[in-house]
A and B are shown apart, each in its own frame.
Chain A
Amino acid sequence: MVPACKLKRPVAPAILPRCMLFTVLVALPLSIATAAGRVGRRFASSDSDARYPHVIELYDADNRKITSESTKPYSSLNTCGRCHDVASIAHGWHFNAFQPPASPAAIAGKDSAPEGDPGVSATQLPAADGRVGEPWIWTDPRTATQLPLSYRDWPGRFNPAEAGLSRYAMTKHFGDRVPGGGFASPEQKAIATAGSDGQESEEAEADDAPGEPQAEASLAQLSQRWKFSGALEIDCMLCHAEAGQYDFEARRDAIGDENFAWAATAGMRLGSIEGTVSRIREGSDPEDEFVQQKIPTVSYDATWFNADGRVNLPVVLETPNDSCYQCHSNRQSDPSGIRPRWQHDEDVHLVSGMDCIDCHRNGIEHHMVRGFPGEAHPGGATMQSLSCAGCHLGEGHDRFVTRGRLGSPLPAHAGIPPVHFERLTCTACHSGPLPEDEALGWLTSLAHSLGKKADRSGQEMPWIRGPGYMPLPTSDGEPQPITAARMMWPSFWGSIDDAGQVTPLPPDEVHSATRRALRVRRDFVEEILNDDEAGELFPEKVAAALEALEKEFKLERAVFVASGQALARKESGAGVEPVEVTNRDAVEAVVWPLAHNVRPAGQSLGVTGCQECHQDDGLLFASTITVRGPTIEPGESVTMASLQGIAEADRQVWNQMFMGRTVYKALMATSLVALLAILLAAAIAGIARRAVAGPSNPLATKEEAV
C-alpha cells in the first residue's frame, strides 16, 4: 500500500497534518518494532561455515580509527567489539575468574537475570567454578616461594588479594599466560580514577576487584600504573589468528615491559613499539610531560594497511591447536632432566586428526567446554555429549549403540566390573604418562611459561608432581572418584596467629624484607639448600629471615611453609621448629586433574588384566609420590593407596583375593557344571517317574512337599 504522503498530486494543506499523523501512528511504531526485532542480531555474523575475510578498520582504546600514521596501539575490544558481542565474550571461561558464580536459574537454562542484576542475561553469566583446575603458582626462586593462587573458589588456593597481590601485580606476573581480560583488564573508568593519592587509588582498586578487601597503600600506589600500562584487554587474535601468524614471544616481551595495552599490537607485529612502561618510576605523575614522553608509541608497519586504510587481519573462527598449546603444554622431568618429547606419544585424539576445539567447544559467549562429567553450562546448553563418556557412549549410554559420536570407538571394557566406572574417572586409566614407581616432575605452560624461549633444566620451581591417583578435592566435600592428577606442595612465607591459622605475606614484599637475611642472589635452593651439607645453613638463614619478617610486618610469629609443614623460629635457642597449623588446606598439597594426553585402550591401565592393578606392586596403588619442598629434610614418599584413603592391610586382602581369581573362576565353572548336571538328572528322573506312574498319580505326597 502506498502511503498517502507519497501520492503524486498537489499536496493540499489539509493533507500535511494527516501525513504527520500517519508517520507518528504507523511509521514510527514500525521502525521501533523493526529495530526491536534486530536486538537479537545486534552483532554481525556471516552465518556460514566459510571463513569470513576480516578486512577491517582498527581502533584504539579511545575509539579513534588507526591509520598507518597513528602512534597508539590498537584496541581489540574497540576493533572487534564493533561487530562482536565482547560483553558476552568477556564472561567466557578464560576471562571470567572475577565474575560472581552463575545463578542456578541460568545454569538451569532459564534466561532470567539474577536478582539485582537485571541487565545480565544467562549468556553473560560466567560458568560456576566447577572442577578444580591448575592454580596460578606465584614462583620466586630467590625466596623459595611457590604460592598457589586462584580467583576461583577451589580448595587449597589463596585468593591473590588474600596474599596481598593486586590485579596489577598478577597481570605483571602472569599476563603472558592469560589471553587478557579478567584480572588483567580493569574497566577504563577504574584506570581513569587511579590517582596519585592513596584514597583515589584505593577506590580504583576496589573498582578493579569487587569483593576484594581494600588494598593496602603500597598496592594502591601500584595500581596507578594501570594509567601508564593500560589494560591487558582480551586479545582476540591470540586464539583467532591463523596458525603461525601470532608472535607470542613479542607479546611476552611487551607484557614483561608492562606495555599491557601494546601487547596485542606487538603480538600481531602490526608495528614496532618504542618505550617501556617498566622504566617509568613508581609514583610518577601521569600528567607530567616528561613522564608522558616515556609512554610507549607504535610505529605501524604501513604494509598492513590497504589503500582505504583498512587492514586484512588473518582471522580464523576455529582456534588452531598451536594457540592452545601456548598455555596448555606439559613436559615431564626426572632427576636427569626434561624427558625428550620424541619419546612420548601425542594425545590419541590429536593423532587421529582431531583438534583441541573439537571437544573444547564454545559459542559466542566463550563458555569453553572443559569436558568433565557433570559440567554445567550457564546458558543451560547440553555439554555432556562432549565429555569422554558422552562422546564415546552417547548421552543415554544406550547398550544398542555400536559407535559413539561421529563414529568414535565404543569402549568394550569387556569383563571390567562396572564399579570401576563409579570409583574411577575415564582419565584415571587413559590419561597422562603410564605410571612409574615414582611420580615424575612436571613442567606446565601456566607454571613454567613453556613456549617462552629459555634454558630449562627441568628442576625449576614450582615443583609439580604427577601422575598421582587420588580423588580431587571439592568445596562441598562430596566423595569423588579416583582420577589422574598433578600436585604441588605450597611453599611461602607467612604469618601464623594464636589459633594456628597461616596466611601468606605478599611475596614481592617478602623478597625485599628477607634480602639481607637470606643473601640469596638468584636461587634459594641452589645457594642455601644444595650448599648445606651440614644442615646448619638452612635453619640459620630461615630463622634470620623469619625474624626480619616479624620486624618488617610487625608480626607476632612468622612462618616458612614448605613440604606440608610450617616452620617458625624456635621459642628458645637458634634455628626453626615445626608448628601446628589449623588451616591444613594452606600447607597441604594442591591437586588438579591430569586429562591429557589421552591413551587409547591398548595403552590404558589394566589392559593386561585385573592383576595389573590388583597386586602388591600394582602402580595405580603402589607407585609413590615424594613430597618435594625447599626444606632441608628429604620429603616423605607416600603411596597412591594412602592418597586414596585405602589402608595397606585392606589392599593386601584384596590383592590376595585377586591372586585366587582364576582358581575361583574354575571353581565357579565346576560348580555350575555340577549344578546343571544335577538339575538335568533330577529333571530326567522326574519325567521318567511321571511316565512310569502315569498322569493320575501325584508327583509327591503331602509329606514330601515340605
Chain B
Amino acid sequence: MDIHNLGDGYGLFILALGVLVVAGASFYVGLRTKVRTEEKFDIVASDVDELADQMAEAERIGHFGSFVWNFVDPLQSRWSPHIYELLDMTPQRTPPKPEEFLACADEKDRDRAVREWDRILVTSGPFTFSFQAKTKTGRLLHLKVQGQMIPETSTVRARKIEGVITDVTKEMAIDRAKSEFVSLASHQLKTPITSIHWLAEALLRGTAGPLSEQQMTYIKNTLDSSERMIDMINELLNVSRIETDTLAIIPKAIDPCALLRSVVDEQKMLADAKHLSLRVTCAQNLPPMVADEKLLRMVLQNLVSNAIKYTPENGTVFCDLSLAEAAHSMLFLTVKDSGIGIPKDEQARVFEKLHRASNAEALIPDGTGLGLYLVKTIIDKVGGGISFESEEGKGTTFFASIPFVWHKSGDKPLAG
C-alpha cells in the first residue's frame, strides 16, 4: 500500500489521534490538577478547622471572645462562639447589634456603658471599657471590651469596630479584695502617722523647749515627709473606696469657676517656677452647680497638676469652663497644655489604673499612675465623660463634660 495513496484519510486519522492524545493528556493533567487542588483544599480546610478549634479552646481558657461589627456591610459582622457562651445566648448567623449587646449591662452600669460606646462610635483608634453585665440567665459578670474603631474614609463615623470581650469577673473580685485590704491597711497606717505628724508639729512649735537650727531642719523634714505619706494614704483610700463602691458623693452648691481658680492658684508656684503661661477662663452664663466639692476639686487638681508637671519651661497651660453646647445640663472643662504629650501607642491606656506613659515616667519617676484613673472614675460615676487629644512633643488637651447636678450616694466621703 502506497502510503501516499492513503491520502487525506490517513492524515485525518493521525490528526484525530493527535487531538485525542492531546485531549486525553489535558484531561489527565486537568484531573490531576483538580485532585491536587481538592487535596490542597482539604488540607487547608483541615488546617483552618484545627486553628478554629485551637482559637475556640484559647477563648474558653482565656474567658474571651472576638467580635466585629461592620456598619457598612452588617452581614460581615460576627461574634466568635465564646461570646454567645459568655452571655448564655444561642449563637446566631449575624450577631446582636451593639445596642442589643449593651442592653446586657447591669442597670447601674448601663448608662455609663452606652455613653462610652457613643464616644467610641465617633473616636477612631483603640479603646477599652468595662462594665458589669447580666446574662440571659441572670448571671452577673464583669466584661472588659477592648478593640479599635476604624472610621469610614473622610468621616468620623465608624465603618467597623472590632476587638475582644473578656470575662474579668475573677480579676475584679481579686481586685476588690486587694482594695479592701488597701483600705484596711491605710486606715491602720493613719493612726501612727497622725502621731508622728502631731509630735513633729509639737516639737516644731517649741512645746518641748527650743530647738537648734539643725533640729528644726530635721523636724521640718519629718513633718513634710509625714504629710506626703498622709497624701499617699488618702489617695490609696480614695481608690479603694471607688473600687469597692463605697465612695460617698455629698453634693452641695458650689461655684465651679471659683473652685477652678482656687485649684489653679494653689499650683501657681509650680507653674511660675517653670515660667509657664497659666490662663483660666470661665463662661459668663454658667448656672450654679450642685456637686461634691472634694471630688470635683480632685478632678480639677489632677488635670491641672498633670498639665503643669508635664509641660516644659516657657510652655502654656490653659483651663476653660463653659456650657457644653449639646447638653446644657453639662459643664464643659478644657485643660490644654503644650507639654510632652502622650505617645500614640499608649493613648488607649491613659485612664488605666497605675499606668504611666513612658515619657511621663522618664520625666517624673515618682508618679503613682492613679490620678487620671481617679479622674475618669469620678467623672463616670457622676454621669459625665472625658476624652483627650494629644500629640507627643506638642501637648495634650483634656475635654471633660461634668453634670451640673450630682446625686447623693455612698457612705464614705473622700479622704483628704
A and B held together in a complex: no
Give the B-binding residues of A (Cβ under 8 A).
none
Give the A-binding residues of B (Cβ under 8 A).
none
